[in-house]
C-alpha cells in the first residue's frame, strides 16, 4: 500500500503547499492530497494555506511536485452535493476539478454530502438531487479517466445503506468509495464492519484516529471530523484502523492510505507516520 497525507494537517500552521511538499520529501512520503480552491483567497495567495487553486496551471504544478518526488493521490473537491445548492455550487466545482486533476496527473477526485440533513428537502429528494449530479460527474470522469470517490463524511455517507445507494447511482468503475476510519467511528458506526461491507468499492482511504475525549463527547452525535487532533495510533480508534488494514490487505487493496490529523507543524503527523509504517510492517504489508 502507499502512504500519503491530507494537507489539512498543516492548516493551523499556515504552511504553503510547497512547504507541505518539502515535508513529504523530508519524510519519504510520495503521495499528497490537498483541497481544491475554486477562485482566489488572500490566505492562499500569501502562502499561508497548504491547498491548491484551480487557477494554478496543473501541468506546471505537476512538474514542480515531481521535483520533490511527490504526486497527488487525490484532490479534495468535497463541496456538499446533498443540499439545495449542490447542483448550483457543488456540481460545477466538481466538473471543473476533474479535467484539472487529469492534467495534474491525479486520477482521484473526492466528493461528499453535507454533514446534516439537508434543509428544505426530504431524504429521498436529496438522494434524487445527488443522483442527477453524480450522473453528470461520472460522465465527465469517464472521459478523463478519473475516479470519483464518495467520501464517508456526512449525513448520508455515514449511513451504510444510503452510501450503498449512492455508489449505485451510476454503474461505472469510475464511481468508488473513499473510506474514512475516523468519520465512520465518530458517526457511531463500526469502522471495521463498514470497511468489510464496501471492500470491493474502496479506492482511497483516509486514516484517522479519534481521541478518547472527542469520542466521549461526540460519538453518535456528529457525522464527520474536520480535523483530528489525535495522532494516529494514540486514540480509541487505533484497533479499528489496524483491523481495517488487515481487511484491505486480504482484499488486495494497493491504493493510498492518506493520513488525516492535525500535524502541529510536523511532530504529530510524524508520530502518525511512524505508527502507520510500524503497523504495516507488523501486518506484512509492503509500503510502495
Domain-embedded: residue 81 = yes
Q: In the chain, how many domains are there?
A: 1
- Whats the size of the chain, residue-wise? 288
Tens of pLDDT, residues 37-66 = 999 999 999 999 999 999 999 999 999 999
Q: Whole-angstrom distance between the N-terminal and C-terminal Cα of the chain?
A: 6
The predicted model scores a pTM of 0.97
Domain-embedded: residue 287 = no
Domain-embedded: residue 200 = yes
Domain-embedded: residue 6 = yes
Structural domain of 175: 2-282
Output the CA–CA distances (angstroms, integers) from residue 92 to 46, 88, 89, 136, in the order listed.
26, 7, 6, 10
Tens of pLDDT, residues 193-209 = 999 999 999 999 999 99
Domain-embedded: residue 23 = yes
**Buried-exposed string 238-268: b where 16+ CB fall within 10 A, e elsewhere:** bebbbbbbbebbeeebebbbbbbbbbbbeeb
Output the CA–CA distances (angstroms, integers) from residue 38 to 52, 94, 166, 263, in the order listed.
9, 10, 25, 25
Q: For residue 229, what is the domain's CATH number?
A: 3.20.20.150
Amino acid at each position: 500500500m502507499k502512504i500519503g497525507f491530507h494537507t489539512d494537517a498543516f492548516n493551523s500552521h499556515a504552511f504553503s503547499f510547497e512547504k507541505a511538499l518539502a515535508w513529504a520529501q523530508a519524510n519519504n512520503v510520495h503521495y499528497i492530497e490537498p483541497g481544491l480552491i475554486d477562485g482566489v483567497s488572500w490566505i492562499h495567495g500569501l502562502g499561508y494555506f497548504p491547498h491548491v487553486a484551480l487557477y494554478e496551471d496543473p501541468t506546471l504544478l505537476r512538474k514542480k511536485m515531481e521535483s520533490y518526488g511527490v504526486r497527488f493521490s487525490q484532490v479534495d473537491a468535497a463541496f456538499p452535493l446533498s443540499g439545495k445548492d449542490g447542483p448550483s455550487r457543488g456540481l460545477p466545482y466538481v466538473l471543473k476539478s476533474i479535467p484539472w486533476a487529469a492534467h495534474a496527473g491525479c486520477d482521484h477526485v473526492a466528493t461528499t454530502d453535507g454533514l446534516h440533513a439537508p434543509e428544505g428537502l426530504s431524504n429521498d429528494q436529496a438522494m434524487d438531487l445527488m443522483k442527477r449530479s453524480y450522473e453528470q460527474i461520472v460522465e465527465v470522469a469517464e472521459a478523463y479517466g478519473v475516479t470519483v470517490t464518495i467520501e464517508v463524511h456526512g449525513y448520508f455517507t455515514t449511513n451504510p445503506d444510503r452510501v450503498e445507494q449512492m455508489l449505485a447511482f451510476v454503474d461505472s468503475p469510475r464511481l468508488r468509495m473513499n473510506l474514512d476510519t475516523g468519520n465512520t467511528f465518530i458517526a457511531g458506526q463500526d469502522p471495521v464492519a463498514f470497511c468489510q461491507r464496501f471492500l470491493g468499492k474502496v479506492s482511497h482511504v483516509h486514516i484517522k484516529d479519534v481521541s478518547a475525549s472527542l469520542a466521549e463527547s461526540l460519538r453518535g452525535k456528529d457525522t464527520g471530523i474536520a480535523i483530528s487532533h489525535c495522532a494516529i495510533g494514540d486514540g480509541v480508534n487505533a484497533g479499528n484502523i489496524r483491523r481495517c488494514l488487515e481487511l484491505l490487505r486480504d482484499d488486495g487493496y494497493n491504493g493510498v492510505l492518506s493520513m488525516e490529523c492535525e500535524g502541529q507543524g510536523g511532530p504529530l503527523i510524524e508520530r502518525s507516520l511512524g505508527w502507520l509504517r510500524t503497523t504495516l510492517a507488523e501486518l506484512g504489508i509492503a509500503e510502495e
